[in-house]
Structure 1
C-alpha cells in the first residue's frame, strides 16, 4: 500500500517552507553581491526558489514512489528510501499505540499522519506522512486487533469506528473548556519575561515616553500587561489543544480525540497504565476542579516515549475526576497521613533562609551609588513564612491501602499520585542531612511510567524515619502479594481456554 497521492503536493509545500529561509538569504546575498538593480536581485531570488522547489518536488515524488507499507500476519512492514533502501518489520505485539494527527490543512485535504509508537522506544518507531483519513482510521483499528488487544466485533464484516462501538467515559463541555482556559494560565514564563523587560524595557519605554517622571508609572503598567498577556495566551493555547476532547473505552484501550487547529486521535493501552495522577493548581482547587492524567509504561502519546503523561480528563469537577479514576483503577476511599508536625519547622527554616538571601540581595543593590530605596522592606516577607510552611505541610501526605499506594504533594500545584501495588518497580527510602536532624525521611515509589523517567515519582515526603522504614517494607510486601494474586488469576483464566 502507498501513501495518499495528496501527500506529494502537501510535503512539497511543507518542505519548501522549511528551506524558504535559506532561499531568501541566498537571494538577498546574491542581489547585494552583484551590485545590480532590484530586477536582477529578483531574478536571482526567483531562480533559486525555482531550483529549490524543483529539488524538493523531485525528492518527494521519489519518496512517494519508494514508500510502501503492508500488514502481514505478524508484522507491520515498511519499505522506504530514496538514495538508500530501508526495510522495517515491526511486530504487532511491540506496537503500543497508533496515533493520528491532523492540522487544519490536512483535514481540508482529507489526509492524516499516522504514528506507530512502540513500548520502551525512545522515539516514534514509524510515521506515515500521509494517508487518507479513512485509511488512517482503518490502521488505528486493525493494528490493535491484530495485536490482540481490541475485542470489538465486526458488524456485517466491517470494523466499526471507535466512537461508534466504544463506551464514552468523558466529553468536555463548553463550560469546562472555558474554566480550563482560566485555570491553565501558565505563569512559568513570567520570571523570564520580567528579566527581559528589566533589560530592554527602559530603553523601549524611554523612546515612547520621553518624560522620565512618567517611567515609574508606565513601567509597572507594561510589566503587568505583559504578565496578563502571557497568561491569557497560555490559556487560549490550552483551549485550542483540548477543544472537543473525548475519552472512551474501546476493548482493552482508552481512546481519545482532541484539538481544534490540530486534531489528535490516539490510544492508551489498559495494560500499559502505570499510575494515575489527579492534579489541581490553587485556582482550580478554589473552583472545585481538577484534572486526571494517565502515566503509561515509558510512553507519552503526546510527546513520545518518556516525555509526558496523557490527560484523561483535562478539567472537570473534582468528584467527577475521582469517579473516572475509580473506573480505571478501583481504588478505595482514602485519607492521607500527614508528615509529623516537626516537618513544618524544616519548611520554615528553609523559607527563612530564602528571605534572608532576598534581604541581603536588596541591601547589596543599594550599595550602588545611583540606587537607593527601603531595602529593609523585603524583610516583611518573613511574616508569610509560618503560613507558607503550614500550607506545605498540610498538602503533603500518603495513604497505604491493600492494593494501592497514594501520595500527595504540592500547594500551588497539587499532585495526588495513585500507584497500584502490582505496578511498583522499586521502593527507596532516603534521608538528607537536614532530614536526619529532625528524624525525617522520604519514601520514593518507582514505577515504569513516564513520570519515573522524568524523576517525578510518587513520594511520601518528610515522614517519620521509623514510619518510612515500615512503609518501604509494607509496599514491598504488597507488591509480592499483588503479583502472586495476578499470576493465580492469569492461570485460572488460561485453564478454561486450554480445556
Structure 2
C-alpha cells in the first residue's frame, strides 16, 4: 500500500489547525472563569485546538493508503471510521491531475478519478508527488499491471511517445479572453460594479426631487446600467479565461489525447479516443467572423465541463477554423460539413415567435407605465420589429443537418453556432419529437442520443425543425445506419481476433488456421 506525499501533513495541518484553533478560541471565551479577558485560558485552549488539528492530520496521513493492482484501484482512509473503496480499472473513464500555486511550489498534485456513468468524482488523492500523479494517470487509464519494465515507464514519463497536436498561441489566448463571457463572472461583475459605483436600482427613475445615478430615465437608465454591468462582467471574464487557458497544449499518446492548461491552477487530463461519443465545433460571434472556432470532445458518461471546478474541457479552446477542422477530422474523418437546412416555413415560425415576444414585452411595459413610474417610453420597443425578418433568416440559416455514410451532423445557433458530429455506432436512441407549434407547421425534430448526452451537461445532436415526413425517414435512417455500422465493427473485431490468433500461434510454434 502507498501513502500520500509527506507534504500533505503540514499543508492539511495548517488548514485543520486554523479551524480547530478558532473553535477552541470561542469555547475558551465562553468557558473561561475570568471572563473574556482571561488571555491565558483562551490561549491555552487555542493551542490545544491547534495540537488536536495537527495530531488528527498525522493520523489521517498514517491511515490513508492506496494501491493500484492489476484489475482494481483500492483506497482506504478514515481516522475515526474506516472507509475502503475498490474501483475496477475497466470502469475508469477520466483521470485529471490538478495543481494550485501552493501544490506546484511543493511539487505535489491532486488526482481526480472519474468512472463511466458517474456524475461526480469517484476517488480523489489530493496530495501525491507530481511524478506519482503522472504514473497513476497513465496506469489507471491503461489498466496495466505493476510488472511493466522500468525502462518503458521511464520512457513514457520522459514524454518520448507524445505527439504535440495543438498549443495555444498568445494571439489566440488574447482573442479567447476578450470574446469569452463567463456566467459566474457576470454575477461577480455586477456585484463589484454596485459596490464600486454606489449604484442603486431604485434610483432608475427620478422621484421626489432626487436625481438618478445614471443619465436619462426609464429604459434609458436601465440601458446605461446594463452597459456598465456588461463592461464589468467582460473585464472579469477576460481575466478568468486567461487564467484558465494559459499554456494550453494538447498531445496524443497512443489512443489518448492529453491536455494541460492553467496559470494559477494547473490542470491536466486525458481524453480516451476509443470512448469518444460526440465532437462539438463551436463558433461564437464575433470570433466566427475572424475565422476562429473551438473543438470539444465528449466521451461516454462524461461531458466537458461536468466537473464543477472546471470550465468546458476542450480539445481546442480557440484556434483558426482550419486548425480546428484538421484536428476534428484526425479524430473522426467526417468529411463535408455542407448541411441541409430546414424548410422555409420554419423561418416564418421564427418570425412569428419574435413578433409575439416583442408584443409581450410592450404589453408588460404598457402596464408598468400605466400603473407605476418605473417605465415611461415602453413604446420604444416597437422599433425592434424591423429586426425580426433578418433575425428569423439568420436563425434559419444557422440550423441544419447531414446524414452521411458514417456520421450524423447537426448545427444550430447564430450567436454561438454549434456543429455536432456523431458516429452512427455511438447512437443509442433516435428520438422523433414534435411540439404543438411545430405540428401546426408540419415540422419536427430528430435527436441522436449518445452515452455522453445522458449527463447533465451533455446536449445531444438534434436536427431541429425538419419536415415532419422527412423527420420520420431520418429517424429510421439513423436506426438503420446504427445497425449497419455495428455489423461492420463486429466483422472487423472478428477479423482482428483471427489475425491476432495467427500471429500468436506463429510466435509460439503452434499451428493456427485462418477463417474459411
TM-score by structure 2 length?
0.85
On the 8 A contact 1:309/1:450 being kept in 2, the answer is no
- The equivalent residue for 1:103 is 100
Q: Cα 1:238–1:190, aligned 2, differ >3 Å: closer, same or farther?
A: closer
- Once the two structures are overlaid, the 10-residue window that deviates more, 266-275 or 442-451, is 442-451
State the SS of the aligned residue for 2:160: helix
On the 8 A contact 2:306/2:457 being kept in 1, the answer is no
- The equivalent residue for 2:442 is 439
Task: Report how far residue 28 of structure 1 moved.
Answer: 11
- Once the two structures are overlaid, the 10-residue window that deviates more, 216-225 or 49-58, is 216-225
| Distance in 2, Cα, partners of 1:351 & 1:296 | 36
On the 8 A contact 1:424/1:446 being kept in 2, the answer is yes
- The equivalent residue for 1:181 is 177
Q: Cα 1:334–1:225, aligned 2, differ >3 Å: closer, same or farther?
A: closer
| Distance in 1, Cα, partners of 2:40 & 2:417 | 60
| Distance in 2, Cα, partners of 1:236 & 1:193 | 12
Task: Report how far residue 4 of structure 1 moved.
Answer: 0.8
Q: Deviations over 1:53-73 (max 9, x none)?
A: 333222211111011112223
Q: Cα 1:97–1:370, aligned 2, differ >3 Å: closer, same or farther?
A: closer
- The equivalent residue for 2:213 is 215
Q: Cα 1:204–1:369, aligned 2, differ >3 Å: closer, same or farther?
A: closer
**Which consecutive unaligned segments of at least 5 residues does structure 1 have?**
none
Task: Note the 1:456-475 alignment, pairs <5 A.
Answer: 456-475=459-478
Task: Report how far residue 288 of structure 1 moved.
Answer: 1.2
On the 8 A contact 1:12/1:60 being kept in 2, the answer is yes
Q: Deviations over 1:356-390 (max 9, x none)?
A: 11101111111235456232122212221112111
| Distance in 2, Cα, partners of 1:22 & 1:356 | 58
| Distance in 1, Cα, partners of 2:418 & 2:392 | 18
Q: Deviations over 1:276-321 (max 9, x none)?
A: 000121111112111100011112475449x985300000011110
Q: Does residue 1:477 correspond to 2:483, yes or no?
A: no
Count of residue pairs the alignment pairs up = 487
TM-score by structure 1 length?
0.88
Task: Note the 1:189-208 alignment, pairs <5 A.
Answer: 201-202=199-200
- The equivalent residue for 1:361 is 364
State the SS of the aligned residue for 2:343: coil
State the SS of the aligned residue for 1:311: coil
Task: Note the 1:234-313 alignment, pairs <5 A.
Answer: 234-300=237-303, 303-304=306-307, 310-313=313-316
State the SS of the aligned residue for 2:154: coil
On the 8 A contact 2:303/2:458 being kept in 1, the answer is no
- The equivalent residue for 2:113 is 116
**Which consecutive unaligned segments of at least 5 residues does structure 2 have?**
503-516
Q: Deviations over 1:246-302 (max 9, x none)?
A: 111111211111111111111111111100000121111112111100011112475
- The equivalent residue for 1:14 is 15
Task: Report how far residue 144 of structure 1 moved.
Answer: 3.0
Task: Report how far residue 6 of structure 1 moved.
Answer: 0.5
Q: Cα 1:386–1:59, aligned 2, differ >3 Å: closer, same or farther?
A: same
On the 8 A contact 1:308/1:450 being kept in 2, the answer is no
Q: 2:80 aligns with which of 49, 68, 83?
A: 83
On the 8 A contact 1:71/1:77 being kept in 2, the answer is yes
Root-mean-square deviation (Å)? 3.2
Q: Cα 1:86–1:355, aligned 2, differ >3 Å: closer, same or farther?
A: same
Q: Cα 1:73–1:373, aligned 2, differ >3 Å: closer, same or farther?
A: closer
- The equivalent residue for 1:168 is 164
| Distance in 1, Cα, partners of 2:144 & 2:427 | 25
State the SS of the aligned residue for 2:114: strand
- The equivalent residue for 1:130 is 127
